């Protein structure tokens, strides 16, 4: 049986935890050589240790252009190509009504979630354009499609990701590079568990707003990333795909 990502090189940010960790492992299972990156160096090394022949770890903060440049150069030096990039690193950002947020925490959230994705795409695209082949997948959110009371910085960053995903997809429609976004719903990861731990009312709200009565798993999001990364999705570009058990369908 042919593996979906045989002979492909894939970069994953946010690879230490949750969705990024599951995606690094899923890409490796499908035959890709993977560079997993995270600002959490110990965590991303632990991810790589789960499939040491396939996954290499590289510590980088995606909000810092020099670190992103070094990350992409590491992947290219190590493997000579870059076919797939899952730009997934993100933070929840400050919680509270918009008029109560302080500027520094707003900026930090936008720096990581939106500027980080911009910087990754900026340095990944020229390589993929030269190859005439590539698939970029950005992690947005249900909060990229609908409002998220109490999370306006996060919501703005995730809406912004859809804007740059669509724009880059159009700019690259004739280059062989496809660019898409995944909008996960509430997914059982340390980020979501952290949010639910802030109070029983938050946990209740999250659990009660799942149409199917359950959270998603990181592996369910990773499966969509695998498909988007593969040639099976050869005519899919500029799309934002909800993987959320119908949460934003209502």
Ligand X SMILES: NC(=O)c1ccc[n+]([C@@H]2O[C@H](COP(=O)([O-])OP(=O)(O)OC[C@H]3O[C@@H](n4cnc5c(N)ncnc54)[C@H](O)[C@@H]3O)[C@@H](O)[C@H]2O)c1
| Catalytic positions, written as ranges | 154
Among positions 98-157, residues that touch ligand X (CB under 6 A) are 112, 116, 139, 141
Question: First-to-last CA distance in the chain?
Answer: 39
Contact between 178 and 75 (Cβ < 8 Å): no
Query: Does the protein bind ligand X through residue 245 (CB under 6 A)?
Result: no
Q: Which of the ranges 33-41, 118-126, 171-179, 232-240 carries the binding residues for ligand X, by CB under 6 A?
A: 33-41
Spatial neighbors of 138 by CB under 8 A, at least 6 apart, are 87, 88, 117, 121, 161, 164, 165, 179, 180, 181, 182
Query: Does the protein bind ligand X through residue 85 (CB under 6 A)?
Result: no
Q: Which of the ranges 15-23, 102-110, 167-175, 235-243 carries the binding residues for ligand X, by CB under 6 A?
A: 15-23
Q: How far is residue 51's CA from residue 25's CA, in Å, rounded to a whole number?
A: 7
Query: Does the protein bind ligand X through residue 83 (CB under 6 A)?
Result: no
Retrieve residue 159's tokens: 């809406």
Q: How far is residue 177's CA from residue 212's CA, in Å, rounded to a whole number?
A: 35
Query: Does the protein bind ligand X through residue 32 (CB under 6 A)?
Result: no
Query: Does the protein bind ligand X through residue 61 (CB under 6 A)?
Result: yes
Q: Which of the ranges 10-18, 172-180, 196-204, 235-243 carries the binding residues for ligand X, by CB under 6 A?
A: 10-18
Spatial neighbors of 105 by CB under 8 A, at least 6 apart, are 93, 94, 153
Contact between 20 and 89 (Cβ < 8 Å): yes
Query: Does the protein bind ligand X through residue 93 (CB under 6 A)?
Result: no
For ligand X, the binding residue among 11, 24, 28, 63 (CB under 6 A) is 63
Torsional sign, CA 160, 163, 167, 169 = positive
For ligand X, the binding residue among 43, 94, 134, 160 (CB under 6 A) is 43
Among positions 191-230, residues that touch ligand X (CB under 6 A) are 191-192
Shortest spacing between CB 46 and ligand X, in angstroms: 10
Shortest spacing between CB 15 and ligand X, in angstroms: 7
Q: How far is residue 198's CA from residue 180's CA, in Å, rounded to a whole number?
A: 32
Taking the least distance from each CB to ligand X, the nearer of 173 and 198 is 198
Shortest spacing between CB 244 and ligand X, in angstroms: 8
Contact between 121 and 127 (Cβ < 8 Å): no
Among positions 173-192, residues that touch ligand X (CB under 6 A) are 184, 186-187, 189-192
171's enclosing H/E stretch is helix 152-171
For ligand X, the binding residue among 19, 23, 155, 222 (CB under 6 A) is 19
Site residues (vs ligand X, CB under 6 A): 13-14, 16-20, 38-40, 43, 61-63, 88-91, 112, 116, 139, 141, 184, 186-187, 189-192
């Amino acid at each position: 049986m042919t593996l979906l990502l045989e002979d492909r090189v894939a970069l994953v940010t946010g690879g230490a935890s949750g969705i990024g960790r599951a995606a690094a492992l899923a890409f490796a299972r499908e035959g890709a050589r993977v560079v997993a990156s995270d600002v959490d160096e110990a965590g991303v090394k632990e991810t790589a240790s789960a499939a040491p022949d396939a996954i290499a770890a590289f510590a980088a903060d995606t909000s810092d252009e020099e670190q992103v440049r070094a990350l992409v150069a590491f992947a290219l030096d190590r493997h000579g190509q870059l076919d797939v990039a899952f730009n997934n690193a993100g933070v929840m950002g400050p919680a509270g009504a918009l008029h109560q947020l302080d500027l520094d925490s707003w900026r930090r959230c936008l720096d990581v979630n939106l500027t980080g994705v911009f910087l990754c795409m900026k340095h990944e695209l020229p390589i993929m354009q030269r190859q005439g082949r590539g698939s970029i997948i950005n992690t947005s959110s249900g909060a990229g499609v609908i409002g998220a009371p109490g999370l306006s910085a996060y919501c703005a960053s995730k809406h912004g990701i859809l804007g740059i995903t669509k724009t880059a997809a159009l700019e690259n429609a004739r280059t062989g590079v496809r660019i898409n976004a995944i909008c996960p719903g509430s997914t059982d990861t340390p980020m979501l568990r952290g949010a639910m731990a802030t109070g029983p009312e938050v946990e209740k709200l999250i659990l009660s707003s799942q149409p199917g009565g359950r959270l998603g798993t990181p592996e369910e999001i990773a499966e969509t990333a695998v498909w988007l990364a593969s040639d099976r999705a050869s005519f899919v570009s500029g799309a934002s795909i909800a993987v959320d058990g119908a949460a934003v369908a209502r």
